[in-house]
Amino acid sequence: MTQVEVAIIVILLLMSLPGLLRRMGHLSLMYPIYLAVGLLVGPILDDGSLHLLKETGEFGLILLLFSIGLEIDLPTRAMFAKAAQVAGRWSIWQIPLVVALALTVDGNWMNVSMTSVEVSLVAAIAMVSCSLALAYPAWQRLKADDPEIKSNLLLFMVALEVQTIVILSVSGVLLTYGIGMRLLLNLLGVILAITLVGLLANNMTRGLQSVIDRAVHLRVHIIVLFVLLFSAVGGRLGLSAAKTAFFLGLFISRSTHEGMSLRSHLEPIAQGLLIPVFFVSLGAHLPLSSVFSYIGLHALLSAIFILAFRKMISCRWNVIGEYRQAYLIVTPNLTMVAIAVTILQKCVGPLPVTVWVALTGLFLTIFSILLFPQADPHPSAAAPPSG
């Protein structure tokens, strides 16, 4: 399949899929379907098409994380600290289970190396997380007798997502450099990059808003350039471009009121093109044969087992609240899984566990979205986050 034919497929998807899923009440299935399409077309793509998808998808990942940062409205420190404690308990309950499942993927669990443990931990961190953009529509449909309990559940989801990206930022450096002086220097660079973004986000975003108000026809170009400049600086300091974009979006959302405006301007190029290309690319770089192999079966059974375990700890021990379906709301995790898979592909290569993470996250996301009560096909004006 040529590059032009790939472009035709992607454009047809962008034209038809969102409207179809919106009518079905399952708009959250859009990212999983993009990844599944990538899986299906991957074997018939030539090397040039795969390379084009990968390079274009890198920009999609940057804008995806920037959008995720924009969608998060951090609460006060005290409220966030409480939600973070609940997120920590939720993670601690599950991480050992997911690590054990990941270590059995290659069937060599009797001879476990330090690298395989580190990779499994990265997989577990992503797997126990929550993708707020995918989970938010289900949270909106949750019928709440007590609005405060529903609000606390959303805070938990936010804390879980932020916790995951912060840990993945550090884990990528650890997998690349190992423990030593170089790791310390890169961590210092990461801290410097985050601090720099935090200090500059407020004033520069206000200036950016005044510029794009005047540059009507160049708004998208200016915003994308703004994000890429920050991302490039963060990359030079040791924090990956995509994660720098996340913290930029997070600080903009936290310290200014411009996040919604920036998100609406970015919508056509981010949600309308580059982010879908990222997910198609991610699927295309996974072997389709793995879906029908031991890894695919392992991923399917792992997803079912993790869902059952989450139902147990949610309902029996009330880990994340009083709602019986809360475990389904917080389970969609495909964006976090996609970030972890990207890190693993860059740091350790195409290991079986990397494919397992992607497939398990795909199954978990699809199962949880389909099991939760269907959305109103004619939703109110309140729109879900775009990240």
Confidence bin at 209 (pLDDT 50/70/90): low
Looking at residue 387, its amino acid is G
Yes or no: say if 325 and 92 are a contact pair by the CB < 8 Å rule: no
Yes or no: say if 243 and 191 are a contact pair by the CB < 8 Å rule: no
For 65, phi then psi, to 5°, come to -70, -35
- Helical axes 147-177 vs 181-214, angle rounded to 10°: 130
pLDDT in tens, 270-325: 888 889 999 999 999 999 999 999 999 999 999 999 999 998 888 776 666 567 77
Percent of the chain topping pLDDT 70: 85
* Residues 336, 125: Cα–Cα separation, whole Å: 9
Residue carrying the six token digits 């609000």: 151
Report the pLDDT value the prediction gives residue 315, as an integer from 0 to 100: 74
Q: E strands within 153-281? A: none
333: which DSSP letter? -
* Residues 103, 86: Cα–Cα separation, whole Å: 26
Domains of the chain, first to last: 3-371 (1.20.1530.20)
**Coil vs helix vs strand at 150:** helix
Yes or no: say if 247 and 68 are a contact pair by the CB < 8 Å rule: no
Residue 15 is encoded by which pair of tokens? 């034209």
Residue 111 is encoded by which pair of tokens? 């001879």
pLDDT in tens, 236-249: 877 788 888 888 88
* Residues 138, 372: Cα–Cα separation, whole Å: 7
Report the pLDDT value the prediction gives residue 144, as an integer from 0 to 100: 67
Yes or no: say if 227 and 66 are a contact pair by the CB < 8 Å rule: yes
Q: How far apart are the first and last CA of the chain?
A: 30
Average pLDDT value over all residues in the chain: 82
pTM of the model: 0.85
Report the pLDDT value the prediction gives residue 206, as an integer from 0 to 100: 66
- Helical axes 147-177 vs 132-141, angle rounded to 10°: 170
* Residues 190, 237: Cα–Cα separation, whole Å: 6
Q: How many CA atoms lie within 13 A of 387 on its CB side?
A: 32
Looking at residue 193, its amino acid is A
* Residues 309, 313: Cα–Cα separation, whole Å: 6
What average pLDDT score do residues 183-189 get? 74
* Residues 343, 340: Cα–Cα separation, whole Å: 5
For 306, phi then psi, to 5°, come to -65, -40
Of residues 156, 90, 152, 85, the one with CA closest to residue 124: 90
Report the pLDDT value the prediction gives residue 376, as an integer from 0 to 100: 40
**pLDDT at 254 > cutoff 80:** no
